[in-house]
Amino acid sequence: MTMNPGRIVAGALAPHPPHLVYAENPPQNEPRAECGWEMLRWGYERLRADIERARPDVLVVFSPHWQTYVGTHFLGLPRFQGLSVDPIFPNLFRYTYDLKVDVELAEAIAAAAGATGHPVKMMRNPDFRVDYGTIISCHMARPTWDLPIVAVSSCRSAAYYSVEVMQDQALALGRATAEAIGRTGRRAALLASCSLSHRHFVVEGDLPEDMSREHVTSHHNYLWDMRMIDLLRRGRLEEVLATMPEFVNQAVSEADSGALSWLIGALGHDIAGEVYAYGTVIGTGNAVVGFFPPEAA
Ligand SMILES: [Fe+2]
């Protein structure tokens, strides 16, 4: 039996402010909200529909909040269950999760990345608490949780070395991800779980969903977000990579995690992004952007 070669059917910049899940009021999350951050949530709704149309059979998510420092780790058991509480916003996010993992694909990506000399490790502890970045991006992109996921950690090399080192590693990891997806015959949707500008307010109002308080922290950060979104929309992904060191430093971007560079490395070529939404959450800049590589003839 021959297996169809796999491919990346969708990629997305899929930020993970817990506020978005809070405002959606899913049964898994304990706190209740009245409303809030609608533009981002409605954007996510349209991304969801387009991802669904691309018929993925797995979500591969790279999260800044699984911070492993020594190499890249992957969830390595078929199922993880637990309660995820956002350490900064426990008032907004107390989420009971029960997720499936595509262990075969996770191992294939780890092997491909490991073959390049990058340290990798499979997380086999059944009591491991999955980070909220992974959970929130997956929930917002696919709230039915009907697909298995592959969760990829961030080794935070921007913090330990430099944005350039981070980006070299993330691009290689992205290429390894694409190669493993091809080899295992998967139709994968990739989620880069991060905000753009990431300077945020340090005081929360009495009502978190009071939208009269929500705006970007500074015009400087807004200009940086617009510059990056313009490049993403026009498909100038090489230029996104070239601009990344300055962007991370100027806008304190959460792309320092490597999530966006990993996605670009996996896509492997310039492709125009569909911008579904831009909005701020506690002052941080967030864009929901989809990339849909055309099916090969
Ligand atoms: Fe975050």
Q: Are 109 and 152 in contact (CB under 8 A)?
A: yes
Q: Which of 237, 253, 58 is nearest to 152 (CA)?
A: 58
Please tell me the distance between residue 148's alpha carbon and the centre of ligand 1 in angstroms: 22
Distance in angstroms (rounded) separating the CA atoms of residues 87 and 92: 10
Distance between alpha carbon 23 and the CA centroid of its chain, in Å? 19
Q: Where are the alpha helices (DSSP H) in the chain?
A: 18-24, 38-53, 103-114, 132-141, 157-160, 163-184, 219-233, 237-251, 259-267
CA distances (Å), origin 50, targets 46, 56, 190 = 6, 11, 13
Please tell me the distance between residue 68's alpha carbon and the centre of ligand 1 in angstroms: 15
Distance in angstroms (rounded) separating the CA atoms of residues 140 and 156: 24
| Whole-number pLDDT of residue 216 | 97
Distance in angstroms (rounded) separating the CA atoms of residues 198 and 213: 17
Distance in angstroms (rounded) separating the CA atoms of residues 113 and 183: 13
Please tell me the distance between residue 91's alpha carbon and the centre of ligand 1 in angstroms: 16
CA distances (Å), origin 37, targets 88, 200, 213 = 18, 15, 11
CA distances (Å), origin 98, targets 130, 150, 275 = 10, 14, 30
DSSP 8-class letter at 190: E
Element (H, E) at 76: none
Q: Which of 8, 7, 20 is nearest to 288 (CA)?
A: 20
Please tell me the distance between residue 184's alpha carbon and the centre of ligand 1 in angstroms: 30
Please tell me the distance between residue 193's alpha carbon and the centre of ligand 1 in angstroms: 8
Domains located in the chain, CATH noted:
7-291 (3.40.830.10)
Please tell me the distance between residue 35's alpha carbon and the centre of ligand 1 in angstroms: 21
Please tell me the distance between residue 67's alpha carbon and the centre of ligand 1 in angstroms: 11
The separation between the first and the last C-alpha atoms of the chain, rounded to the nearest angstrom, is: 22
Please tell me the distance between residue 16's alpha carbon and the centre of ligand 1 in angstroms: 6
Q: Are 150 and 30 in contact (CB under 8 A)?
A: no
CA-CA-CA-CA torsion sign (152, 57, 171, 62): negative
| Whole-number pLDDT of residue 4 | 79
Beta-strand relationship, 58-67 and 187-192: parallel
| Whole-number pLDDT of residue 3 | 67
For residue 150, give both structure tokens: 């592959």
Distance in angstroms (rounded) separating the CA atoms of residues 31 and 185: 40
Give me the tens of pLDDT residue by residue for the chain, a chain 297 residues long: 456 789 999 999 999 999 999 999 999 999 999 999 999 999 999 999 999 999 999 999 999 999 999 999 999 999 999 999 999 999 999 999 999 999 999 999 999 999 999 999 999 999 999 999 999 999 999 999 999 999 999 999 999 999 999 999 999 999 999 999 999 999 999 999 999 999 999 999 999 999 999 999 999 999 999 999 999 999 999 999 999 999 999 999 999 999 999 999 999 999 999 999 999 999 999 999 999 999 754
Distance in angstroms (rounded) separating the CA atoms of residues 229 and 197: 11
For residue 119, give both structure tokens: 């340290």
| Whole-number pLDDT of residue 2 | 55
Beta bridge partners of 12: 191, 290
Please tell me the distance between residue 133's alpha carbon and the centre of ligand 1 in angstroms: 6
Please tell me the distance between residue 60's alpha carbon and the centre of ligand 1 in angstroms: 17
Please tell me the distance between residue 194's alpha carbon and the centre of ligand 1 in angstroms: 6
Please tell me the distance between residue 235's alpha carbon and the centre of ligand 1 in angstroms: 25
Q: Which of 273, 131, 259 is nearest to 193 (CA)?
A: 259
